Every structure is written in C-alpha cells, then in structure tokens.
Amino acid sequence: MDIRDRSGLGKVLDGGFDAVIHFAGRKAVGESVTDPLGYWDTNVAGSLVLLQEMSRTGITTLVFSSSCTVYGNTAEAPFAEDLPTAPINPYGETKLAVEQMLAALAAAQPHWRLASLRYFNPVGAHPSGEIGEDPHGIPDNLMPYITQVAVGRRPQLQVFGNDYDTPDGTGVRDYIHVVDLARGHVAALAYLAEHPGHSIHNLGTGRGYSVLEVIGAFERASGRRIPYAMAPRREGDAAAAWADTRRAQAALGWKAKRDINAMCRDAWNWQRRNPNGFGNEPW
C-alpha cells in the first residue's frame, strides 16, 4: 500500500504494533531535482500521515531511514552527527525535514521514542541470494550498476570523475552491507526502549573506498571483469564521504562487521541468481 493512504495505513496500524521502522521513501537524487513535489509528497507528507496515524493508535516508537546526504558537500569527512546540516538537493531536504518533524514532536511530547538513522552507502544483498537490489531502469548507484555489467545486462561502467582530491582520483564513499544496516535498526529499537526523545545516529563503517577499489574488490569476489571508462564528474557529487561511527558504537553498541569483500560477494550472489532481478520489468 501507499504510505500516503491514511485510511489504509490506519487500518494496518489498528492491528497493534510496538514500533514502526519507516523505510518508505523515494531516494534518487536526480529525480528529486526534477520532481521536488513528488519527493515532498511521499517523503514528508507520507511521514506526516504515518506519525499522525501512529499518534491516533498510540504507537510512539519509530526508527526513520535518514541519509548522510543531509550533511551536504561543505564539511570534510568523517561526518559526525553534530555537524551542521546542509542538504544540496530536494531529496536531502526532505530527509532533513522529517528529522526536524521528529525533533519537534519529541520536544513537544517527550514520551515519543524516535531515532533518525543516517545511512551512508548501503550495498550488498542478503547472503541467501533471495533478497537483493533491483532498481527500476538504469541504476543510479554504483553497486547495482556494477552487478548489471557483471551479469551482461550493460556493456560497461562509467566512472564519474578521476580528478578528485582522493588517493586514486575517484570518489570515495562509506559502503555498508545491508545486513549490518538491518542490524543497526534492531540496535536502535533496543536503544529506544531505554531512551525516549529523538536521537540521530550515523550508520556506516567509518571507512571509505574509491570507485576503483570497489571495482577491484568486485572483480576479485565475482571472478568477472568489469569493463569501465572514465567519464566526467557527476554534478553534485562530493569527493569523499565517510562516517564518524563513534556515537553509533557508544550509544547503540553497534558496529558494522561485514567488509567490502562480503558486500561484493553477496551483491554478486544475488545478481547471479536473479539476472533479471525480480522480473518486474523487461530489459
């Protein structure tokens, strides 16, 4: 169902729950620039409907999927949670708007238990190979693009920029395995059981990898060559972004355990078993 469907969502919540983990949102930066109202509608108005229906049904614990994109491009990595926020696109603005909604709600009604988790770059798949990432159309993100090249759906990867001020000139990001990310949500729920109010936590590994390092790790994990070509920088991209993980470690007792090799192995395992993804669209 659609998160903006108040009566449908209300009926679900009437079933009785202890907490909500709120993943429902749109997340393509470029699309948010061309369709800002769509992003404000789903991400912000949708979250408002959810919070109102939670309030009506007496559910006051929520874990929200926020993003490191709220830090913008001005600060230098590593990014700590108390940095000033400076989103540079409508997607980031909508994530920050929901964080602000949660902060204001917790200030007004201190019994709410709300956590905003700022994801860095989630990649990989469940190790079973049964749950993976199947973007619609041309993938916006690096890892699904690589896996689609590896499986033969796309001829080659474009590397967006090799003149950044990074060790090999390509962009550096903090990739985090989706299973570690999921564990972070469980840790956040345990934290909220002890801590009312609104809190913010980075979910990353604290380590950055360049695009070329990711390609190398993927080639080793999969045994496939990934043809690539250098291309101009992509507008709005930062040179380097990785998390300061100290708060998440201290407060949540959580730390990412899976390394880049596991991320590549599991992403490839899923794509190899599901060359057409979930089969929801022809390609």
Structure tokens at 279: 């089969």
Terminal-to-terminal C-alpha distance of the chain: 26
Size of the site for ligand UFG (CB under 6 A): 21
Please say which residue, 119 or 191, places its beta carbon nearer to ligand UFG. 119
Among 173, 183, 201, 265, binds ligand UFG (CB under 6 A): 173
**Among all residues, which ones are annotated catalytic?**
91
Query: Taking the alpha carbons of 26, 32, 34, 38 in that order, is the dihedral positive or negative?
Result: positive
Number of other CB atoms surrounding residue 98 within 10 Å:
22
**CA 204 to each of CA 36, 109, 119, 178, 214: distance values in angstroms, whole numbers, following the listed order:** 27, 30, 7, 10, 16
Query: Is residue 244 part of the contact set for ligand UFG (CB under 6 A)?
Result: no
User: 232: cis peptide before it, omega within 30°?
Assistant: no
Estimate to the nearest angstrom the gap between the alpha carbon of 159 and the chain centroid.
Answer: 21
Residue nearest to ligand UFG (CB): 171
77 is an interface residue for ligand UFG by CB under 6 A: no
- Examine residue 171 and tell whether it contacts ligand UFG (CB under 6 A): yes
Q: Of these, 241, 248, 251, 260, which contacts ligand UFG (CB under 6 A)?
A: 241
237 binds ligand UFG (CB under 6 A): yes
Q: Does 177 bind ligand UFG (CB under 6 A)?
A: no
**In the range 193-222, which residues lie near ligand UFG by CB under 6 A?**
211
DSSP 71-112: GTTTSPSSBPTTSPP---SHHHHHHHHHHHHHHHHHHHSTT-
Nearer to ligand UFG, 19 or 150 (CB): 150
Retrieve residue 209's tokens.
């990898």
Q: Please say which residue, 58 or 155, places its beta carbon nearer to ligand UFG.
A: 155
- Cα torsion at 70, 136, 223, 228 (round to 10°)? -70
For residues 54 and 215, which CB has a smaller minimum distance to ligand UFG in the complex?
A: 215
Q: State which of residues 140, 219, 244, 259 lies at the interface with ligand UFG (CB under 6 A).
A: 140
**Interface mask (CB under 6 A) for ligand UFG, residues 81-120, using x and -?**
----------x-----------------------------
Angle among Cα 169, 247, 121 to the nearest 5 degrees reads: 35
Cβ atoms of residues 178 and 125 within 8 Å: yes
Q: Which of residues 37-56 bind ligand UFG (CB under 6 A)?
A: none
145 touching ligand UFG, by CB under 6 A: yes
Choices 105-113, 136-144, 200-208, 268-276 (CB under 6 A): range interacting with ligand UFG? 136-144
Q: Which regions of the chain does DSSP assign to beta strands (E)?
A: 20-22, 61-67, 113-119, 121-123, 157-160, 172-173, 175-177, 197-203, 209-210, 228-231, 240-241
Per rule CB under 6 A, is residue 159 in the interface with ligand UFG? yes
Select from 19, 51, 62, 68 the one that contacts ligand UFG (CB under 6 A).
Answer: 68
Query: Residues in the site for ligand UFG, rule: CB under 6 A?
Result: 27, 29, 67-69, 91, 121, 140-142, 145, 157-160, 171, 173, 211, 234, 237, 241
